[in-house]
Amino acid sequence: MQPQSKLSGIFTPNLVPYDSKGEINEPELRRYIDWLIEKGVHGLYPNGSTGEFTRFTPEERRRIVAIIADQTKGRVPILAGAAEANVRETIKACEYYHGLGIRAVAIVAPFYYKLSPASVYAYFKEIGDNTPIDVTLYNIPMFASPIDVPTIQRLSEECERIVAIKDSSGDIPNMIRMIQAVRPNRPEFSFLTGWDAALMPLLLSGADGGTNASSGVVPELTRKLYDMTLSGQLDEARRIQYDLLTLFDTMIYSAEFPEGFRAAVELRGFSMGEGRQPITPEQQTDISTLSRTLQCMLSEHGFTNEPIGGCTTGITEDLSNSDVSQIVQRVVAELNRRKLI
């Protein structure tokens, strides 16, 4: 097997624009890809959670990756989500993406059925032994069976094709344990965080980069945060991390995921269309309110103009007490679900 470059930097989880019929808007997707690359992201990550991979058919998932590969033309590496409903179909997806020249695939642990660590190991071992393309393990315990540290260590030592892990748990100590367990025997193994709020601390702890949803909205900020953290400009990096955290929390907790991110990308000049998850009129009103809040946030960095009527002195004043209460309740509920409080 020819050695390839280590996965590192910011890989953007790609949102997919829809047309008026709810189908993939290919011209707008191509325009969005060019924009992300021009803004400095290190790589692209289609068919992830932010890209709503479960809301597409297997054929649509392949088409999305094919479009992105064609538009990218090798300018940046692509890490393609390849998780299908079972191991056979997942290996077929690996073979297809290998044929497109994709750098690596990301595969979430089995979802729907909660499996034991032994079954999670067996699933990835089957893939690792039969894939023609490099594999990134995708740990997202809130949606799928968790991949524990002993399993990651065992797979990294037994499967040469398993070259990285993307961890979206937001559990900083646990990811440090992964690095500590794997890196001595696999120094080329990559560690990517999928939790934007933890990007700077994990880079400082030895992670190699991130697959961060906010990079699809403010690629300039995530790239700057990455560069400044690695170059030791920590005071400025910390300020950016704080700003990114505020934006990330607002997008993820103020609407059904990933509608907050879709609303924010609209504000950057892209027509995202209506998502495939039906929403109520009340939810649509909430998204409209959220869009105004996001526009005020983005305007502070010069990414958009202020909304009509302007912004009040401080973004939080755009939110009513009930809005703030709802955001706090969602944050606390999410932290409880992830057993972080």
Q: Per residue of the chain (341 residues), what is the pLDDT tens digit?
A: 456 789 999 999 999 999 999 999 999 999 999 999 999 999 999 999 999 999 999 999 999 999 999 999 999 999 999 999 899 999 999 999 999 999 999 999 988 888 999 999 999 999 999 999 999 999 999 889 999 999 999 999 999 999 999 999 999 999 999 999 999 999 999 999 999 999 999 999 999 999 999 999 999 999 999 999 999 999 999 999 999 999 999 998 888 899 999 999 999 999 999 988 888 888 888 888 889 888 998 998 888 888 888 886 444 444 455 555 665 566 556 556 655 55
Contact 232, 207 (CB under 8 A): no
**From CA 171, how far away is CA 155, in angstroms rounded?**
20
Which segments of the chain are extended strands (E)? 9-13, 43-45, 79-81, 104-108, 134-139, 162-167, 190-193, 209-210
Kindly state whether residue 273 falls inside one of the protein's structural domains.
Answer: yes
Asked if 10 contacts 222 with a C-beta cutoff of 8 angstroms, the reply is yes
For residue 316, the model assigns a pLDDT of 42
Is 330 part of a structural domain of the chain? yes
For 163, phi and psi rounded to 5 degrees?
A: -120, -5
C-beta of residue 294 within 8 angstroms of C-beta of residue 258:
no
Establish if 2 belongs to a structural domain.
Answer: no
Please identify which of the residues 45, 166, 226, 253 carries the catalytic annotation.
Answer: 166
Catalytic residue among 97, 138, 226, 253: 138
- Examine residue 81 and state whether it is found in any structural domain, yes or no: yes
Q: Is 309 helix (H, G, I), strand (E, B) or coil?
A: coil
What is the distance between the alpha carbons of residues 84 and 109, in angstroms, rounded to a whole number? 10
- Residue 1 is assigned to a structural domain of this protein: no
Residue 4, domain member (yes or no) = no
pTM, two decimal places: 0.88
The total number of structural domains in the chain stands at 1
Question: Cα–Cα distances in Å, from 182 out to 11, 13, 87, 149, 264?
Answer: 22, 25, 24, 9, 37
What are the pLDDT digits (tens) for 282-315?
A: 888 888 888 988 899 899 888 888 888 888 644 4
Residue 209, domain extent: 9-338
* Residue 32: CB atoms within 10 Å: 25
50 annotated among ligand-binding-site residues: yes
Predicted local distance difference test score (pLDDT) of residue 317: 41
Question: Does a structural domain hold residue 3?
Answer: no
6 is known as an active-site residue: no
CA 151: distance to chain centroid?
Answer: 22
Sequence-ordered list of residues with C-beta below 8 angstroms from that of 166, at least 6 positions apart, any chain: 79, 106, 136, 137, 138, 139, 192, 193, 194, 211
Domain holding 303: CATH number?
3.20.20.70
Query: Among this protein's residues, is 166 annotated catalytic?
Result: yes
What's residue 324's pLDDT? 53
